[in-house]
Every structure is written in C-alpha cells, then in structure tokens.
Amino acid sequence: MDKVFVSTGVVLGRLLCCAGICAAMLVSQGAIADQGSKVYFAGVAYTSNASAIADSYPHLSVELAGDRAVALNGRIRSLMQGAALPEAVSFDSLGSIKDASKATALALAIDGETSSVEHIGNVYKLRTEISAEALFFDFKEKQVLGGFPFTIDYIDVSDTPPSDQDIQKAFHQMVAGAAGQHDIAGEFVRVMANAHVPDAANKHLRVTASALGPMAVEYLNQYAPQLNQAAFAQEVARDFGKYLAANQKVSILPYRSNQAIGSSMAARFTEGEAFNLKIPDADYEIHLNVAGFKKIQKSSSNVDTLLLYGAFVDVDVLEPLSQKIYFSQRIKQGESKTIPVTQVTVDDWAASNDTLLSLFDNFTKAMSNSKSAWLNSGLPDNSQARDQLVSLEELVKSCR
C-alpha cells in the first residue's frame, strides 16, 4: 500500500481532530476530584468478556499479545513521563494491577475495533478504527469512576484489495506507532493531559439500553449482511456516549454491554487478569432504539449520482427511580453523497453509519443550543419536542 492518510477523532462522515474533541470533553470541572491525586497506571484492558476477546478484537488481540502489550505499556510510560499531566500517574506497578489496591487506578480501556474497504475508481480505500477510553476506577472496590473516550482511525489506499495481512499491518501501526502517524498511546496521553479523576459523588448519566428496530434490522440485512448486529447495538451506545460527553462536557459512565452480568463491566487486562468492574447506578438513563435507515437515489447523470442517506433514532431519557421521562422523541438525520461514475462500488453501510454519527453529533450539540438550525429538520416540529429539549438541557447541566 503506497499512500497513507491518517486522521484522528470521532468519525462524522468528516473526520474531526481528536485533540479538539478530547479537550472539549474533559474540561468539565464539576466532575473531578482534587487535582494532583495519585493514580496508578494499571495497564491496557479490553472492555469485553474474557471469552470473547478474540472474536471482538480479531486484530488488536494479536497486536496486544505477549510482549507487544508490554511494549505498549512501556511506550505509554515513556510518553506520560515526558508530559505535563494534571494527575500524578504512578508506574510503580507498571503492567500489574495487583499492587494498586490503595489507589485510584487508570487503564487504557479498548472498547472496539472496526475495518471497512471501499472500491473507488482504480483504488481500494481501507479504513481501520479503534475506540478506547481513559478509564478511572477504584481498584479496591472494583468500581468505575468514569471514562474519557476517544477514537483514532487510519486510512490507506492501494491498487489491489487489502488482504487480512494488510488490515493487520494497519492495526499494528496504530498500536506500535509510525513516523508521522497518530497512534493509540499518543492519543491516550493527549487525553490524559486534560483528564482528572471523576468525582464518584456526582450525578451520573449513562446509556443503559440500545436496540435495533425491525426496519433497521431489515436495512442491515440488505446492506451489511456480515455485520454483527448485537455488537453494533453496543457500538451505537458507545458512540452516543462519546458525542454527549464531548459536546456537553459531562462525564459518561460506560455502557453496560452484557445485561447478564448485572450492573458491571467485563474487563480483561492484557496481562491476563479478568474481573468485572461495578458501574454506579445511573441517576439518569438513556435508552436508544435505532428505528431505521433509508437510501434514496436523488439524481443521476453521465458524470455522477447523488445519493441521500437517512438515519432515524428513538431517544428516551428518564429517571429510573421515579420513571419520570425528560425526553422521548424520534430524531432524524439526512446526508448526501456524490458518487462519480468511475467509482465501481459504493459502501452504502459506511455512508449510513456516518449519517448515524452525524445525527448523534448534531443532537448532542443541540441539547445546549435551542437555536441550532439542525432542529428544524432533526427534531419533530411540535411544542412537546421543544419543551422536552429544554428539560433535557437542564438535566444535562445538573450532571456537570
């Protein structure tokens, strides 16, 4: 592969600068503990059941096996020791979580990996992505305090279809680092430059339910038949939380990815230890239902074709104890994509997913901007929807 384009940040169809997102996400002073508290670096962990690591992270599990995980820990240590950080991070227990029982622990928690290939003209575009977070937790109590998520991606083009070895190489460069390229250790340290230990006493927001409606399932069966729909529903929850945290500067508790283990999050450190981290009860719950997607051919000529993609999501925000509903509406997003006649194939699912991410971005921004132009098309045009948006804005403010 001969041309490399590297971007960082949450993917919106347009790629945002991760540093800008993380800075905006982490400046909230209402959800931090006293500055300068000692934090033990516990290592790198997967936020998934131990038995599902190879299936959930087919490439990263290879890159973080054995000495490669040790090398990543060492790279993080080297970068952090040369950076000005608001928290005093101790590496006395580098690579081991056994000696951190009296301190707040910090992990580089990996939430997911994805890859996609698109054939454009005479070239193939490969995009690989890693979702992760700087996760703080009370090691003695095995309880999550809060996480600060980030996403990095890598884009490469070649004249031939990428093999699995090419995809593996892309993930290797994202983990090991390469000249002129962003990597997971560097982004983690950039996040930590603005991160503080979250205050466990603050009110908590969390996505607690994420589902796919019948129309969404039908669309996925047609345009993304190989997609693991259960894993995608979890990805939806994580993506929504990232945008909410970034755009509203609030701390977000991790999504509970496996209902069977109760209010806890499965975690396995790359050194082999596995356990469940308790997640505090959410003061406010967010329920998501991806209602459906649409693809429409708007126009076509001998030069290009204009396609329109739509995404529709039901969002409910409520207080679990009283069951008081603060927001319950279907929101929507439309995005266009121009396809030149030279493009052989179209990755319709990638375009649809980008539309969904744009929806999350616009909606979470509009929570504190009642004059957002997006509201004219994205939110139902009635007084109930507008009143609920005001209630949602006040709720989010109370969590900062």
User: Are residue 182 and residue 47 in the same domain, yes or no?
Assistant: yes
Give the distance, in angstroms, between the CA of residue 345 and the centroid of all CA atoms in the same chain.
27
State residue 25 phi and psi, 5-degree precision: -75, -30
CA distances from 141 to 65, 271, 276, 278 (A): 28, 20, 11, 8
- Tell me which residue range forms the domain holding 300: 205-250+283-400
* pLDDT (tens digit per residue) in 219-246: 999 999 988 899 899 889 988 988 898 7
Task: Give the CATH number, domain containing residue 390.
Answer: 3.30.160
pLDDT at position 18: 37
In 3D, which of 193, 97, 199 has the Cα closest to residue 145? 199
* pLDDT (tens digit per residue) in 364-400: 999 999 899 999 999 999 999 999 999 999 999 888 7
How much is the mean pLDDT over the chain? 82
* pLDDT (tens digit per residue) in 323-345: 999 999 999 999 999 888 777 67
Give the distance, in angstroms, between the CA of residue 71 and the centroid of all CA atoms in the same chain.
24
Average pLDDT for 13-27: 34
User: Are residue 194 and residue 343 in the same domain, yes or no?
Assistant: no
User: Is the predicted pLDDT of residue 292 greater than 80, yes or no?
Assistant: yes
User: Are residue 338 and residue 395 in the same domain, yes or no?
Assistant: yes
Three-state SS for 118-136 is EEECCEEEEEEEEEEEEEE
Of the pLDDT bands very low, low, confident and very high (cuts 50, 70, 90), residue 24 is very low
34-38, 140-144, 247-251: which has the minimum mean pLDDT? Answer: 34-38
The string of DSSP codes covering 31-48 is: T---TT-EEEEEEEEESS
| CB-CB neighbours of 215 under 10 Å | 14
Share of the chain above pLDDT 70, in %: 85
CA distances from 101 to 34, 40, 90, 143, 382 (A): 19, 9, 13, 12, 53
Domain count, the chain: 2
In 3D, which of 44, 38, 147, 39 has the Cα closest to residue 95? 44
Average pLDDT for 249-257: 76
* pLDDT (tens digit per residue) in 197-221: 877 667 888 899 999 999 999 999 9
User: Are residue 264 and residue 345 in the same domain, yes or no?
Assistant: no
In 3D, which of 103, 307, 79, 96 has the Cα closest to residue 183? 79
pLDDT at position 39: 87
User: Are residue 355 and residue 211 in the same domain, yes or no?
Assistant: yes
User: Are residue 272 and residue 287 in the same domain, yes or no?
Assistant: no
Are 146 and 136 within 8 A, CB to CB? yes
Average pLDDT for 101-130: 84
Are 223 and 349 within 8 A, CB to CB? yes
DSSP class of 93: T
Residue that the structure tokens 């030279």 belong to: 342
- Give the contacts of 125 (CB within 8 A, at least 6 positions apart): 117, 118, 119, 155, 156, 157
Q: How far apart are CA 105 and CA 81, in angstroms?
A: 17
In 3D, which of 216, 212, 257, 213 has the Cα closest to residue 238? 257
Q: How far apart are CA 16 and CA 328, in angstroms?
A: 29
Q: How far apart are CA 364 and CA 344, in angstroms?
A: 35
Polymer length in residues for the chain: 400
User: Are residue 71 and residue 111 in the same domain, yes or no?
Assistant: yes
* pLDDT (tens digit per residue) in 155-173: 999 999 999 999 999 999 9
User: Are residue 214 and residue 139 in the same domain, yes or no?
Assistant: no
The more confidently predicted of residues 120 and 100 is 120
Are 126 and 115 within 8 A, CB to CB? yes
Average pLDDT for 25-53: 63
Of the pLDDT bands very low, low, confident and very high (cuts 50, 70, 90), residue 96 is low
User: Are residue 8 and residue 143 in the same domain, yes or no?
Assistant: yes
pLDDT at position 6: 32
User: Is the predicted pLDDT of residue 118 greater than 80, yes or no?
Assistant: no
Structure tokens given for 372: 């957002």
User: Is the predicted pLDDT of residue 362 greater than 90, yes or no?
Assistant: yes
Are 25 and 245 within 8 A, CB to CB? yes
User: Is the predicted pLDDT of residue 279 greater than 50, yes or no?
Assistant: yes
User: Are residue 332 and residue 189 in the same domain, yes or no?
Assistant: no
The string of DSSP codes covering 354-398 is: HHHHHHHHHHHHHTT-TT-TTHHHHS-SSHHHHHHHHHHHHHHHH
In 3D, which of 389, 297, 381 has the Cα closest to residue 346? 297
User: Are residue 231 and residue 356 in the same domain, yes or no?
Assistant: yes
User: Are residue 109 and residue 188 in the same domain, yes or no?
Assistant: yes
